[in-house]
Amino acid sequence: MNMFLPAVRLSVVLMLICGLIYPLVTTGVAQLLFPAQANGSLITQNEKIIGSSLLAQDFQSPGLFQPRASNADYDPTASAGSNRAVASEEYIGEMKEKIAQLQQENPGLKQIPADLVTGSGSGLDPDLSPEAAEAQIPRISEATGLSEQQLVQLVNEHTEGRQMGIFGEPRVNVTALNRALTAELK
């Protein structure tokens, strides 16, 4: 009984600190310093939420840039990679199907960037390599009537470099790129 009351008090204090105070402080600091990121980096249009810059969205129109394949069907509540071994027959068959579909949608495409047929680890990566975005330009040019040069310029304007100059690879956020493309068409 000697140890029971101090253990209960310590448990209550730790629950208050770890379960209430710490989350409130970190949420408050995040809201103060990084409000857009703390709220999910949401994209709004006409005061309506249309997505997040952190999550890929499925764009089916031939006049828009296509994102990476999603093993989660672009459902943010079902984030998942494929977990298949690259040497498995199932994976090889799936890649052949994706390559055939990509070549059918983009006639004349010879070099296929890997990120156009493979999914990311989360299945929701919103970014493509600049090469993967550029590979889609002939199809988009034909569908929209914009010149390939205009589309190359649009991709270049939306290409982000390495973080802090050393981390990651250059990338293009497909949602932001498609929003700019749509604005260009108006």
pLDDT of residue 85: 80
Residue 11 to residues 4, 17, 19: CA-CA distances in angstroms?
11, 10, 11
Confidence grade of residue 141 (pLDDT, cut at 50, 70, 90) = very high
Same domain for 17 and 71? Answer: no
Taking a C-beta distance cutoff of 8 angstroms, is the pair 44, 180 a contact?
Answer: no
pLDDT beyond 80 at 84: no
13 and 71 share one domain:
no
Residue 16: domain span:
1-39
Q: Do 120 and 46 share a domain, yes or no? A: yes
Same domain, 92 and 166: yes
Same domain as 21, residue 86 = no
For 37-82, the pLDDT digits (tens) are 898 888 888 888 888 888 888 888 889 999 988 877 887 777 777 7
41: phi then psi, degrees, rounded to nearest 5: 50, 50
Domain check: are 22 and 96 in the same one? no
Higher pLDDT, 36 or 45: 36
Q: Check residue 64 and give its pLDDT.
A: 92
What pLDDT was estimated at residue 34? 93
Same-domain check for residues 35 and 47: no
- E-only strand ranges, the chain: 42-45, 48-52, 127-128, 159-160, 171-173
Whether 22 and 53 map to the same domain: the answer is no
| Mean pLDDT confidence for 136-147 | 92
Q: Check whether residue 122 and residue 111 sit in a common domain.
A: yes
Same domain for 25 and 89?
A: no
pLDDT at 147: 92
Q: What per-residue confidence (pLDDT) applies to 136? A: 93
Quote the CA–CA distance of 66 and 56 in Å, as a whole number: 10
Q: Reduced to 3 DSSP states, what percent helix, strand and coil does the chain have, rounded to the nearest 5? A: 50, 10, 40
The total number of structural domains in the chain stands at: 2
Q: What is the pLDDT of residue 1?
A: 67
Q: Is pLDDT above 70 for 7? A: yes
Cα–Cα distances in Å, from 75 out to 55, 173, 184? Answer: 9, 18, 28
Q: Domain check: are 78 and 169 in the same one?
A: yes
Average pLDDT, the chain: 89
Q: Measured between alpha carbons, how far is 171 from 174 in angstroms, rounded to an integer?
A: 9
User: Do 96 and 28 sit in the same domain of this protein?
Assistant: no
Judge whether residue 179 has pLDDT over 70: yes
